[in-house]
Amino acid sequence: MRNITFVFLDLGVAFLVQLIVWRLYLPRRQIFAILVVFLCTFALMLTVELWMNLLSRAAPTTIFSAIALYFSITFVYMIVFSAVESDSPTLMIINQIAAGGRDGCSEEELQNKFSERDWTMERLRLMEVGGFIWIHRHRCTLSRKGWSYAHLFEASAKLFELPRGG
Amino acid sequence: MASLALALSPFAALAINSLIYLFNRRYLKRSIGVSIAVGFVLGLIAVVALIAWTMPQANIDSLDAWVGTIMTYTAVSFGFWAFLNLNITSIRISILRYMLQNGATVNIADLLATYAGEKLLQRRLLRLTAGGQVVLVEGKWRISSPVLLSMARFISIIRKILLLSLGGTPNSQNGTTVS
């Protein structure tokens, strides 16, 4: 059996497991939960495949290629899921302008639509839930986790010459 | 040895991709978009060359070698692009960096002023205009490129499929991805 067949079979099973888990209990940290589900499913499927001697003739490097393909697609799914999970202000702007069709969209319409949500406060709450910051008495403080991520992004912005966006 | 080289080729190509990006960005002073595109294309050429070079000696199915390896490279390159893109566009990452630069503790009022809705909107419109995605014509904003619109529609479709499949709302209050 080809690597690709194994990988897509395992991904399909992992997605089904995710469907079942999500219907029983919606995880608080969905992206992390996806990683756990896909990792556990892969470990289980690999064990079954090895036990059934389906991979007995596969070289270790072939198995490594299959693992690499599986987890790279899993990470793509996690990235796409995170975009689906929380609304993007940029895509909201694009949708709003597109909704205007040939007439376009005035600045005022765009501002009114954009200001329907408090994007910054929403993000701060998400960051607090995610353990990146603490909010106490109208002040925000970086947690250790937030501090580590802040340094990572600061260092990568300097390395890759990226502006501080937002 | 050939099998190992083939297995590692997507990651070697990703390394080439990121080095080409750095060269274009830091030394040739090209834009981020052009640097990413050039890096991806040259990385793709590298992975194709590595596959062609190692496959004859590697003990692997040819479809796995070509399709599997290129898919892995494309997926990890997408991850690299997403990482760069998030650094530029993400409100949360920007807030993290702002807080780090301001002693790790800031007033919420200062944050809300720095990241006021109007400023967020204008920054995005500036980026979208510079990227050729939207254009202001006689006081009205219009779509000038279908790229982001296609992405927005694709994400809407995926959201509907996931909502139907998962039987609930992808709860934005529970998300922890930094974006």
B133-153 pLDDT, tens digit per residue, is 899 988 899 998 888 888 888
Q: Which pLDDT value is given to residue B178?
A: 43
Flag whether pLDDT at B173 surpasses 80: no
Question: What whole-number distance in Å separates Cα of residue B162 and Cα of residue B159?
Answer: 5
* pTM for this predicted structure: 0.85
Question: What whole-number distance in Å separates Cα of residue A2 and Cα of residue B41?
Answer: 27
Q: What is the pLDDT of residues B72-127, one digit of tens each?
A: 999 999 999 999 988 988 999 999 999 999 999 999 999 999 999 889 999 999 98
Q: Which pLDDT value is given to residue B174?
A: 40
Flag whether pLDDT at B175 surpasses 70: no
Question: What whole-number distance in Å separates Cα of residue A68 and Cα of residue B122?
Answer: 40
Give B179's pLDDT tier (boundaries 50, 70, 90). very low
Q: What is the pLDDT of residues B123-138, one digit of tens each?
A: 999 988 988 889 998 8
Q: What is the pLDDT of residues B33-65, one digit of tens each?
A: 899 999 999 999 999 999 999 888 877 778 888
Note whether A153 contacts B87, CB cutoff 8 Å.
Answer: yes
Q: Which pLDDT value is given to residue A6?
A: 85
Residue A103 CA to chain centroid, in angstroms? 35
* Chain B interface, best mutation among A32, A56, A78, A88, by max B CB count within 10 A: A88
Q: Which pLDDT value is given to residue A5?
A: 86
Mean pLDDT for A71-78 is: 94
Distance to chain A for B45, nearest Cα, Å: 19
Q: Which pLDDT value is given to residue B111?
A: 92
Question: What whole-number distance in Å separates Cα of residue A42 and Cα of residue B26?
Answer: 40
Give A55's pLDDT tier (boundaries 50, 70, 90). low
B100: nearest CA in chain A? A150
Question: What whole-number distance in Å separates Cα of residue A150 and Cα of residue B104?
Answer: 9
- Dihedral of CA A127/A82/A96/B156: which sign? negative
Residue B37, Cβ neighbours under 10 Å: how many? 15
Flag whether pLDDT at A65 surpasses 60: yes
Question: What whole-number distance in Å separates Cα of residue A53 and Cα of residue B93?
Answer: 46
Q: What is the pLDDT of residues A27-50, one digit of tens each?
A: 888 889 999 999 999 999 988 887
Q: Which pLDDT value is given to residue B168?
A: 54
Q: Which pLDDT value is given to residue B176?
A: 40
Give DSSP secondary structure letters for A24-69: H---SSHHHHHHHHHHHHHHHHHHHHHHTTTTTT--HHHHHHHHHH
Q: Number of Cβ pairs closer than 8 Å across A and B?
A: 303
pLDDT above 90: percentage of residues in chain B: 55
Phi and psi angles of residue B145, each rounded to the nearest 5 degrees, phi first: -145, 140
Q: B140-143 and A133-136 as β-strands: parallel, antiparallel, unpaired? A: unpaired
Q: Is A40 helix (H, G, I), strand (E, B) or coil?
A: helix
Partners of residue A107 in chain B, C-beta under 8 Å: 139, 141
Q: Which pLDDT value is given to residue B57?
A: 82
Please give the structure tokens belonging to residue B147. Answer: 């790229």
Residue type at B132? G
Flag whether pLDDT at B23 surpasses 90: yes
Flag whether pLDDT at A1 surpasses 70: no
Q: What is the pLDDT of residues A88-147, one digit of tens each?
A: 888 889 989 988 888 889 989 999 999 899 999 989 998 998 899 999 989 999 999 999
Left (φ > 0), alpha (ψ -120 to 50) or beta: where does A138 sit?
Answer: left
* A70 close to A7: Cβ distance less than 8 angstroms: yes
